[in-house]
Amino acid sequence: MRNNKLRLMFAGLLLCAAAMPVLAEEKSKDEKKLETSSGELDKCAVKPEGQARVVDRIKAEFDVNDARVQGLRDKNMGYGEISIALGLAQSLPGGITDDNVQKIVALRQGPPVMGWGRIAKELGLKLGPLQSKVHKMSANVRKSEKAADKAGKEKDNKPGKMDKPEKPGKMDRPEKPGNSGKR
């Protein structure tokens, strides 16, 4: 009887171990890179001036307004996630429409909660081009951040223009005695 219990427990463990890879989907290389670039956008947005740069970049890249970005922020999405959602919506027929964006957000936030790779697969899209786009956005934001920091440092380090000290006037040469100045 004891042997049967051990066999049954062992069989159960093997069954659970076999089912684990199915339950825990492995993220693709593109999905990992996409999440890394997305996280970089979120890091850039920590400072108020960085947040403005990220929002401006999102608006320019996807041709959306502040209301669209803020609407997605209200759904507890980070700026990186917003970029991914808008990028996926842009690739769908019709582009960035309320319906396409809502569809993607609903898939992301679940239930069941889906990863970006699974969402893209379900919509018949590829993550590679989107990963490249989000990475470029992140790089552009960092580049503009460095330029702004550099400009700020130069401004802080540059001393104010000092007035030149007055030059003393030319002194007259004393005349030599007995010299009338003519030769």
Residue 7: per-residue pLDDT: 56
Residue 162 lies in a domain: no
- Looking at the structure of the chain, the number of domains it has is 1
From the list 35, 25, 30, 27, the residue with the least C-alpha distance to 126 is 30
Residue 177: per-residue pLDDT: 73
Residue 155 lies in a domain: no
pLDDT tens string, the chain, 183 residues long: the values are: 566 554 555 545 444 444 444 445 578 888 888 899 899 999 988 988 889 999 999 999 999 999 999 999 999 999 999 999 999 999 999 999 999 999 999 999 988 999 999 999 999 999 889 999 999 999 999 898 888 878 777 765 555 555 566 666 666 777 777 655 555
Residue 21: per-residue pLDDT: 41
Residue 43 lies in a domain: yes
Domain of 58, in residue numbers: 27-149
Residue 17 lies in a domain: no
Residue 16: per-residue pLDDT: 45
Residue 156 lies in a domain: no
